[in-house]
């Protein structure tokens, strides 16, 4: 009994130390956005949370972490498959849809004309960079918290997240779409600047900016439709507030909307990219709900039949 209590205390101390070290590292080196670094931080959290648990639970920790690694790295490196298959890059389709929605105006160009000041970093530039950075943090945080608290909830979260990412990757392969900044670079819109990192530089978060630049140079740049930045912002929001009061759910819609505005202003995505990203979340959520309901119904039926047999 005393040994079990000591192990629980050791686990709690390890988790507190993990949080302290993470906060110290984030202040010193910036929030980790590099995929390898993120995976190692998740592994460290899982190890701390496994202290004192059974051998089977520790093996499950290894399996769960491996699932996350496979999921994220498959997402990162399968997005370039469109290049290998020779799929044509679409420059005008999403742009034309945006022009229909905004009565012939390119919203990215309009926003930069009215708000972007090349010689001055405004408060909304900083706010936008911070909102953009949540894409690297918010989807990952529940993976750790839920795994430590409720494995059933963790499986539900991972199921939805993996389906969103899988469908997104399929879309990237079948319909590689150029983001607005690339379309502008190729003459399909008026000039646009890719200004995503200027807020980080203004806050002296040069580490984040450098990591983002390196990732942007390596990964497939024509993975704009649908926007997973917009999708993840809505997905995490729905997950967090799904059981909250109605007014909280309504107010929480401001976050996905802010992400869409940020992506549009920075020239990273078209508005329709965000809309399709949100629709992707709704689709994946409904598919998972129906699958889980069917599994629960089958389990209930089997339990009833087993009781009748007795």
Where is 57: in which H helix or E strand? helix 55-78
**Residue bearing tokens 């909102």:** 131
289-295: long-range contacts at Cβ-Cβ below 8 A with a sequence spacing of 24 or more? 291/159, 292/156, 292/159
How far is the C-alpha of 197 from the C-alpha of 148, rounded, in Å?
33
pTM check: above 0.85: no
Of the pLDDT bands very low, low, confident and very high (cuts 50, 70, 90), residue 151 is: confident
Instruction: Say if residues 167 and 282 touch (Cβ distance below 8 Å).
Output: no
CA dihedral over 99, 101, 103, 109, signed as positive or negative: negative
Distance of CA 97 to the CA centre of its chain: 24
CA dihedral over 12, 24, 258, 162, signed as positive or negative: negative
- CB neighbour list of residue 143: distance below 8 Å, 6 or more residues apart: 42, 68, 154, 157, 158, 161
The pLDDT score that the predictor gives to residue 230 is 94
Distance of CA 308 to the CA centre of its chain: 46
Helix (H, G, I), strand (E, B) or coil at 65: helix
pLDDT tens sequence across 78-128: 555 655 666 788 888 899 999 999 999 999 999 999 998 888 888 888 888
- The answer to whether the peptide bond before residue 226 is cis (omega within 30 degrees of 0) is yes
pLDDT tens sequence across 33-90: 666 777 777 777 777 777 766 777 777 777 777 777 777 777 666 555 655 666 788 8
Rounded to the nearest 5 degrees, what angle is found at the Cα of 228, between the Cα atoms of 93 and 29?
130
């Amino acid at each position: 009994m005393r040994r079990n209590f000591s192990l629980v205390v050791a686990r709690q101390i390890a988790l507190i130390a993990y949080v302290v070290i993470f906060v110290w590292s984030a202040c010193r080196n910036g929030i980790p956005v590099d995929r390898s670094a993120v995976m190692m931080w998740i592994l460290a959290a899982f190890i701390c949370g496994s202290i004192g648990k059974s051998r089977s639970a520790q093996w499950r920790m290894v399996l769960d972490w491996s699932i996350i690694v496979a999921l994220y790295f498959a997402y990162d490196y399968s997005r370039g498959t469109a290049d290998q298959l020779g799929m044509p890059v679409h420059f005008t389709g999403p742009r034309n849809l945006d022009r229909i929605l905004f009565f012939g105006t390119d919203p990215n160009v309009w926003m930069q004309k009215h708000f972007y000041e090349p010689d001055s970093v405004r408060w909304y530039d900083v706010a936008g960079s911070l909102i953009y950075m949540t894409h690297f943090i918010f989807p990952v945080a529940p993976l750790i918290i839920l795994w430590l608290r409720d494995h059933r909830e963790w499986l539900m979260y991972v199921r939805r997240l993996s389906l969103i990412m899988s469908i997104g990757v399929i879309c990237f392969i079948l319909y590689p779409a150029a983001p607005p900044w690339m379309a502008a670079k190729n003459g399909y819109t008026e000039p646009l600047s890719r200004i995503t990192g200027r807020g980080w530089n203004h806050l002296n978060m040069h580490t984040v900016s450098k990591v983002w630049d390196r990732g942007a140079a390596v990964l497939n740049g024509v993975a704009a439709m649908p926007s997973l930045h917009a999708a993840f912002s809505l997905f995490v929001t729905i997950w967090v507030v799904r059981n909250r009061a109605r007014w909280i759910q309504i107010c929480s819609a401001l976050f996905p909307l802010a992400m869409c505005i940020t992506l549009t202003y920075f020239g990273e995505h078209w508005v329709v990219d965000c809309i399709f990203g949100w629709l992707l979340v709704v689709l994946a959520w409904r598919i998972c709900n129906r699958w889980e309901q069917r599994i629960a119904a089958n389990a209930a039926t089997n339990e009833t039949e087993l009781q009748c047999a007795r």
